[in-house]
Amino acid sequence: MWLVFIAMAVLSLFISVGFLYRFSSIIFFILFTYVELIDVTNYLNHYYFISLFAFIMIWLPVNKRLSVDVLIWPSIKRNTIPFWMVGALRLQLGVVYFFAGVAKLNSDWLFRAEPLRTWLLSFTHIPVVGKIFTYKLTAFVFSWAGAIYDLAMPLLLSYKRTLPFAYMAVVGFHLVTWLMFPIGMFPWVMIVLTWVFFPSSFHERLVSAMESLLPTRTHQQETRAWKPKTGKPLALFFVAFFLFQLIFPFRYLAYPGNVLWTEQGFRFSWRVMLIEKAGSAQFYVEDAETGRTWDIHNPHYLTPVQEKEMSTQPDLILQYAHILDKEFKSIGVSDPLVRADIFVALNGRRNKRFIDPAVDLSEIEDGWQHKQWILGYEAN
């Protein structure tokens, strides 16, 4: 696995300098998405975003200027690309902001300031400003400001007059989140990627200044525009690509109940930092023929992260139940019954029973249908 991460680091460098760009971007997308999907308990919206952005970058000719590829093959140099390609990058960022804002329009976020209220209490020890985080009002200000920020940012970044102020807000917002929450490089990625909203004159000045440092033959004036041979099919493909992204996050509406509780339609819908969820899961396996029952010690089968994530996510609960079913069949239990008694606490509330403890989970197949064995949020 270390080789995969080393390869991604090398490919990232190649992409940055534009060396063997198309090959590097394709392999990077494949490897990054592989790492993201190999274990669902590692899922983050941030990783999903990187996969999508990496996929888009495969199709864009970003190595046609100021790249090692141009140094090697000067004839490929171009000065302009179709505007819709820039628009695709802007739209991808806009999708993230828009759906993150829509997801915040729920009662917990707006009227209980959760989970921010819970999280901010962990910063009360900070000298001078720590006391601010003890007030309910602070959590409400953060919550409402976050929702307004996400919903407004696509428009503010797209309008020339508000762009400078919007970008200052982007920098401030992401610096605060980077300081307060363990979300890795994502804030820095967003700060830099937002440059795609800047006018072409800004990028032209920046690129020209950098080109002036390179050999003369690589920065001679070039007036040819890059036109993809498959321009119209590629544009239509991106239309379908973004239509899917605009529709898929709303699939949660097809399921009854609170999506923050059931998590049906939760992933791949930009529900960023919306829940503080903790669960306790006790699984039981019963031999249907003899009646013998085993209490399952979860750490025997799962890592700490896997156990933590599994205990609050229905599809992972089901996957784990099927693992136990196969495990006990392999040791001679012909008809194991797998049940679980699980309690979950959501956004600062008291824990509640999460699923029906009488259901044999080994008999249920996962799919797109509603999981009726999840207990209603108000049921107990």
CA distances to 147, 247, 344 from 64, in Å: 38, 33, 52
88 Cβ partners below 8 Å, 6+ apart? 56, 60, 238, 242
Contact present, 347 and 322 (Cβ < 8 Å): no
In the numeric block, the tokens 């440092």 are attached to 213
Q: Stretch 316-324: mean pLDDT, rounded?
A: 96
Per-residue confidence band for 307, with pLDDT thresholds at 50, 70 and 90: very high
Question: What angle, rounded to 10 degrees, do the helices at 83-103 and 186-193 form?
Answer: 140
Helices (H), the chain: 2-17, 21-37, 45-58, 68-72, 83-103, 107-111, 116-120, 136-158, 163-180, 186-193, 200-211, 231-247, 259-262, 304-310, 314-330
Per-residue pLDDT tens over the stretch 174-221? 999 998 888 888 999 999 999 999 998 898 888 888 877 766 555 554
Report the pLDDT value the prediction gives residue 223, as an integer from 0 to 100: 52
Per-residue confidence band for 224, with pLDDT thresholds at 50, 70 and 90: low
Q: Name the token pair of 95.
A: 């999708």
Q: Name the token pair of 89.
A: 């990058």
Within 10 Å of residue 223's Cβ, how many Cβ atoms? Answer: 7
Sheet holding 293-295, edge to edge: 293-295, 277-287, 336-346, 352-353
pTM, two decimal places: 0.88
Assess whether pLDDT exceeds 80 at residue 312: yes
Assess whether pLDDT exceeds 50 at residue 135: yes
Assess whether pLDDT exceeds 80 at residue 228: no
Letter for the amino acid at 140?
F
Report the pLDDT value the prediction gives residue 269, as an integer from 0 to 100: 94
The 3-state DSSP class for residue 258 equals: coil
Per-residue pLDDT tens over the stretch 86-114? 999 999 999 999 999 999 999 999 999 99
State phi, psi for 178 to the nearest 5 degrees: -65, -40
Q: Among 169-173, 233-237, 290-294, 348-352, name the one with the lowest average pLDDT.
A: 233-237
∠ CA 110-278-359, rounded to 5°: 110
DSSP calls for 133-180:
GGSHHHHHHHHHHHHHHHHHHHHHHHSTTTHHHHHHHHHHHHHHHHHH
State phi, psi for 71 to the nearest 5 degrees: -65, -40
CA distances to 114, 221, 339 from 281, in Å: 24, 66, 10
C-alpha dihedral sign at 49, 171, 165, 137: positive
Any idea where the domains of the chain sit in the sequence? 43-107+154-161+179-253, 276-363
Assess whether pLDDT exceeds 50 at residue 379: no
Per-residue pLDDT tens over the stretch 34-79? 999 999 998 999 999 999 999 999 998 888 888 888 888 888 888 8
Better pLDDT: 130 or 341 = 341
Report the pLDDT value the prediction gives residue 301, as an integer from 0 to 100: 95
- 80 exposure class (CB count in 10 Å sphere: 0-12, 13-18, 19+): middle
The residue count for the chain: 380
Contact present, 115 and 348 (Cβ < 8 Å): yes
Assess whether pLDDT exceeds 80 at residue 230: no
Per-residue confidence band for 226, with pLDDT thresholds at 50, 70 and 90: low
Eight-class DSSP state of 249: G
Q: How far is CA 86 from the centre of its chain?
A: 22
